Amino acid sequence: MIPTNSTITALRREFETELFEHVIPFWEKHSWDRVNGGFWNCLDRSGNVFDNTKYGWLQGRETWLFSKLYRTVEQKPVWLEMARSGAEFLKNRALMSDDRLPFRMTSDGKPVYVQRKIFSECFYVMAMAEYARASGDESYAREAQRMFEKVWEWAFDWRKVGRPSFEGETSLQSLAVPMILMNLIEELTDGLGEPFGRELADCQKAFLKHVNVPEKRVYEFVRPDGSLCTDIPEGRQLNPGHAIEAGWFLQHWAQRQKNSDLSLLAQNVVRWSHAEGWDKEKGGLFYFLDAQGHSPVQLEWNMKLWWPHCEALYAHLLNYSLTRSAEDWDLFHTTKEYTFKHFPDRTYGEWYGYLDRDGRVSQTFKGGPYKCAFHVPRALLLCWNTLKKLESEK
Amino acid sequence: MIPTNSTITALRREFETELFEHVIPFWEKHSWDRVNGGFWNCLDRSGNVFDNTKYGWLQGRETWLFSKLYRTVEQKPVWLEMARSGAEFLKNRALMSDDRLPFRMTSDGKPVYVQRKIFSECFYVMAMAEYARASGDESYAREAQRMFEKVWEWAFDWRKVGRPSFEGETSLQSLAVPMILMNLIEELTDGLGEPFGRELADCQKAFLKHVNVPEKRVYEFVRPDGSLCTDIPEGRQLNPGHAIEAGWFLQHWAQRQKNSDLSLLAQNVVRWSHAEGWDKEKGGLFYFLDAQGHSPVQLEWNMKLWWPHCEALYAHLLNYSLTRSAEDWDLFHTTKEYTFKHFPDRTYGEWYGYLDRDGRVSQTFKGGPYKCAFHVPRALLLCWNTLKKLESEK
């Protein structure tokens, strides 16, 4: 069913209230570390710090968020102050002398653990780029550019930061790498893409190897030539929420490039992944599935996590804004009903992150090693902007 | 309630049937890789190989099991053949030139991934030692001894195999290390302990730092001086099944050393961990808990895994065999009722490994990256032997 004007307006208001009254205030109130700079990441249900460890991914993501809010929503001084605090903490305290950003660190930025992956540094680039625009401080734009070059080099010569390779290893390409780089170029260039046309084309090409059109599936890992490797669980691994997120990353580029074939593919990536990942019995998106129906080896495979639902909210709404089809609206509506019923905590604000298969809260914390002010507010912001656009176009 | 003679006999028969008719035949039939040697590890519900990757921990554990069965239960030729196949695969194909054993490897033993931990090599020592006794081939005893020396060196100079250390890291000691070494000395010396008196004393000393008597708790991680580090989740982490397993490892030494204080402590470690870890609402042992009641960060914290229940079965029965108390019998009985009701698969044999909090099967595979012919048959064998002893002593 296609929504009426008043449905769109009511939803726009609901997303606005959720974002600016229930979600952002939680992080403003509880996550800013005014002593060391940066953000407390491990916050319990009511916002108390249960662990003062900080996480590199999350410092970057929250810096990005408050920069983005300041620049694109409202010039609230506290948002710029929080963004500056995060950006300075990242650049001056957390970054190591070899340009690695720790995955875990102490509250004052001393490294605890460095991942053999590039994601901490990717979120560092996002933070630097958006903070540079928010603050007008060009030195952060240069820092974003400098680190992007490192990340690009590491992404294609994994030996410099990755695990050692062994003789028996199956060479597989991870969806996460081209996907994050595609989003990173969007963030670095504020959606323009220039001067990274070649890099973007490389990412899109690598990304498309994961999309199996005949099977209507996105595989998390494929061989470098794009062929399937279904004799090991990694090669059969499906992560519907991840594919849905990748779908809207791709759609943003398809729109800018006015590439209708790519746009249709990106739409389908979202629809197929939802169809495969939705739990028809209990509702919600599964976390992991096996393409051949084997019992997934991930213990948490059937849990319902906040972020796949956040990504699906925006991905379906974006599809609807392009197609105006009842099918896409129904997917958005189904996702929105499940998500708003199960995840928000109406007592203390923000959303729970982890539900069991039945939709019961499994962990009560609001911030943890992988959850901060990012997926919930980003999805709400993107949906709010899209709903405003739909409102104005009606 | 204290069991009657006929209860003990009925239980002895039940464990015997479970072990020799429902569990061992599954592994005999499905896990032996007659082409490459060693064992298939990833077996679905009915025993089909769903991934031909092999795991170092599991190759060692299954080699140990079939050696032990051959030497201590019955000289069935197939058990010795399977043990030999595992031992030769480990020693000749899987072991790397730097004496590391891969955590993951191809079916013919080529390394895929090497953990920055010592556990693969610990299970290698167990396998070599028990196979040497089963086969009478002294060269395997020498190999066990040689690798034990490496493991001992690595355990106390972690830099040689472990993760790099970083400035902000909190130095913590893991229960797993002294615990496995204590069991390894038992296996290496067939329970005698000689000539490793000093090493054993070191392990016991390190182990006892984790036991907090005033709180009646076993902490997974403590500072090297034994003090608690409750400001980070690792320092508050409880793993009741692990502590229960450690309890019976310690009890075996307390018995041999005729140390009644240590025996009482080992009994209490089991009882306290059960009291803390048992899910009073749904039954079964939780996987992880936080000592201060925070929401555990492990997504699988409330799942019911096969191995803690296996370890608890034997630990409580061992306690009962020492105390003959109704309290210990009741703990055994409660654990046995839950375990036998929820884990065994009466259609295809063996036990499921992973249940959700409510006790519903969450993954259907019988063998996977951490599950092989080990915890279930070891616990059944230990319980069967203990029940036979109780029967004969009545």
Output the pLDDT for position A292: 97
Contact A251, A267 (CB under 8 A): yes
> Does the pLDDT of residue B159 top 80, yes or no?
no
* Chain A residues with a Cβ under 8 Å from any Cβ in chain B: 42, 44-45, 50-53, 102, 104-106, 109-114, 163-164, 166-170, 231-233, 294-297, 299-303, 354, 356-357, 362-365, 368-369
Output the pLDDT for position B160: 75
Q: How confident is the model at residue B65 (pLDDT cuts 50, 70, 90)?
A: very high
Radius of gyration of chain A (CA): 20
Task: Please name the residues in contact with B255: beta carbons below 8 A apart, sequence gap of 6 or more.
Answer: B263, B322
Q: Cβ of A105 and B50 within 8 Å?
A: no
Closest to B25 in 3D by CA, of B85, B66, B83: B66
Output the pLDDT for position B158: 65
Q: How far apart are CA A278 and CA A282, in angstroms?
A: 9
Residues in chain B with CB shorter than 8 Å from the CB of A303 are: 299
Residues in chain B with CB shorter than 8 Å from the CB of A53 are: 232
pLDDT, tens only, B343-361: 999 999 999 999 999 999 9
> How far does chain B reach from its first CA to its final CA, in angstroms?
16
What's the distance, CA A195 to chain centroid? 24
Contact A315, A267 (CB under 8 A): no
Q: How far apart are CA B328 and CA B308, in angstroms?
A: 17
Closest to A61 in 3D by CA, of A300, A349, A318, A369: A369
Q: Cβ of B231 and A52 within 8 Å?
A: yes
Which three-class secondary structure string do you get for A246-272? HHHHHHHHHHHCCCHHHHHHHHHHHHH
Tokens encoding A393: 């176009």
Radius of gyration of chain B (CA): 20
Answer positive or negative: Cα dihedral of A71, A75, A81, A82.
negative
Q: Which of A50, A231, A299 sits opposite B303 (nearest CB)?
A: A299
Q: Cβ of B295 and A365 within 8 Å?
A: yes
Nearest chain A residue to B234, by CA = A51
* Cα distances (Å, whole numbers) of residue B268 to A363, B217, B263: 30, 9, 9
Q: How far apart are CA A66 and CA A84, in angstroms?
A: 9
Contact B33, B51 (CB under 8 A): no
Output the pLDDT for position B270: 98
* Its pTM surpasses 0.90: yes
Q: What's the mean pLDDT in B46-59?
A: 98
Contact B75, B82 (CB under 8 A): no
Instruction: Give B67 to chain A, closest Cα distance, Å.
Output: 28
Instruction: Provide DSSP, A67-120.
Output: HHHHHHT---HHHHHHHHHHHHIIIIIIS-TTS---SEE-TT--EEE--SSSHH
Residues in chain B with CB shorter than 8 Å from the CB of A237 are: none
Output the pLDDT for position A158: 65
Other C-beta atoms closer than 10 Å to the C-beta of B215 total 12
Tokens 């204290």 belong to B2
Task: Please name the residues in contact with B97: beta carbons below 8 A apart, sequence gap of 6 or more.
Answer: none
Contact A222, A207 (CB under 8 A): no
Q: Cβ of A106 and B168 within 8 Å?
A: yes
Q: Which burial class, exposed, middle or buried, applies to B179 when counting CB atoms under 10 A from its CB (0-12, 13-18, 19+)?
A: buried
Task: Please name the residues in contact with A77: beta carbons below 8 A apart, sequence gap of 6 or more.
Answer: none
**Long-range contacts from B342-347, C-beta under 8 angstroms, 24+ separation:** B342/B284, B342/B304, B343/B306, B343/B309, B343/B376, B344/B18, B344/B22, B345/B45, B346/B22, B347/B45
Instruction: Give A156 to chain B, closest Cα distance, Å.
Output: 20
Strand B221-222, strand B217-218: pairing: unpaired
Closest to B37 in 3D by CA, of B101, B90, B111: B90
Output the pLDDT for position B161: 83
Output the pLDDT for position B340: 98
- Work out the mean pLDDT of chain B and round it to a whole number: 97
Give mean pLDDT in consecutive 10-residue pieces for chain A, a chain of 394 residues: 95 98 98 98 98 98 98 98 98 97 98 95 98 98 98 83 89 95 97 93 96 98 96 97 98 97 98 98 98 97 98 98 98 98 98 98 98 98 98 87
Q: How confident is the model at residue B297 (pLDDT cuts 50, 70, 90)?
A: very high
Instruction: Kindly report the backbone phi and psi dihedral angles of residue A42, in degrees, each rounded to the nearest multiple of 5, phi listed first.
Output: -100, 100
Instruction: Provide DSSP, A320-376.
Output: HHHH--HHHHHHHHHHHHHHHHHSB-TTTSSB--EE-TTS-EEE--SBBTTBSSSHH
Q: Which of B168, B300, B364 sits opposite A300 (nearest CB)?
A: B300
3-class DSSP state for residue A276? helix
Which residue segments constitute the domains of chain A, with CATH numbers given? 1-30+170-394 (1.50.10.10), 34-162 (no CATH)
Tokens encoding A171: 């060479």
pLDDT, tens only, B253-281: 999 999 999 999 999 999 999 999 999 99
Q: Cβ of B362 and A164 within 8 Å?
A: no
DSSP lists the bridge partners of residue A94 as none
Which residue would you say has higher pLDDT here, B394 or B103? B103
Tokens encoding B351: 């036990």
pLDDT, tens only, B222-248: 999 999 999 999 999 999 999 999 999
Q: Which of A51, A110, A163 sits opposite B167 (nearest CB)?
A: A110
Instruction: Provide DSSP, A35-77.
Output: TTSSB--EE-TTS-EEE--EEHHHHHHHHHHHHHHHHHT---H
Q: Cβ of A113 and B163 within 8 Å?
A: yes
Contact B100, B120 (CB under 8 A): yes
Residues in chain A with CB shorter than 8 Å from the CB of B300 are: 299-300
Q: Cβ of A365 and B44 within 8 Å?
A: no
Output the pLDDT for position A48: 98
Q: How far apart are CA A194 and CA A160, in angstroms?
A: 27
Q: Which of A42, A102, A299 sits opposite B300 (nearest CB)?
A: A299
